Structure 1
Amino acid sequence: MTTNWPELTTELSADLRTLRGGAPVVMKAFSAIAQAALAPKALDAKTKELLALGISVAVRCDDCIAFHIKAAVAQGATREEVLETLGMAIYMGAGPSVMYASHALGAFDQFAGAKDAAE
Structure 2
Amino acid sequence: MPFMDEILPETAEAFGKLRSSIFEGGELDRKTKELIAVASSVLMRCQYCVDVHSQRAVANGASKKEVAEAIAVAMFIAGGSQLNWANNYGENVYDIIFKEKKPLESGKEKSDEEKGCCCGK
In the superposition, the TM-score normalised over structure 2's length comes to 0.61
Q: 1:57: Cα distance to partner?
A: 0.3
- Structure 1 vs Structure 2 CA RMSD: 1.5
Largest Rg, 1 or 2: 2
The answer to which structure, 1 or 2, has the higher relative contact order (CA under 8 A, 6+ apart) is 1
Q: Deviations over 1:51-70 (max 9, x none)?
A: 00000001101121121112
Structure 2 counterpart of 1:89: 74
Q: How many residue pairs get matched?
A: 80
Does structure 1 residue 75 correspond to structure 2 residue 77?
A: no
Whole-Å Cα distance in 2 between the matches of residues 25 and 19 of structure 1? 9
Q: 1:19: Cα distance to partner?
A: 2.3
Structure 2 counterpart of 1:36: 21
1:26 pairs with one of 11, 17, 35: 11
Structure 2, unpaired ranges of 5+: 81-121
2:36 aligned partner, one-letter code: L
Aligned sequence identity (%): 34
Q: 1:71: Cα distance to partner?
A: 0.9
Whole-Å Cα distance in 1 between the matches of residues 65 and 25 of structure 2? 22
Structure 2 counterpart of 1:52: 37
1:40 aligned partner, one-letter code: G
1:63 pairs with one of 45, 48, 67: 48
Structure 1, unpaired ranges of 5+: 1-15, 96-119
Whole-Å Cα distance in 2 between the matches of residues 54 and 35 of structure 1? 19
> 2:4 touches 2:11 (CA, 8 Å); kept in 1?
no
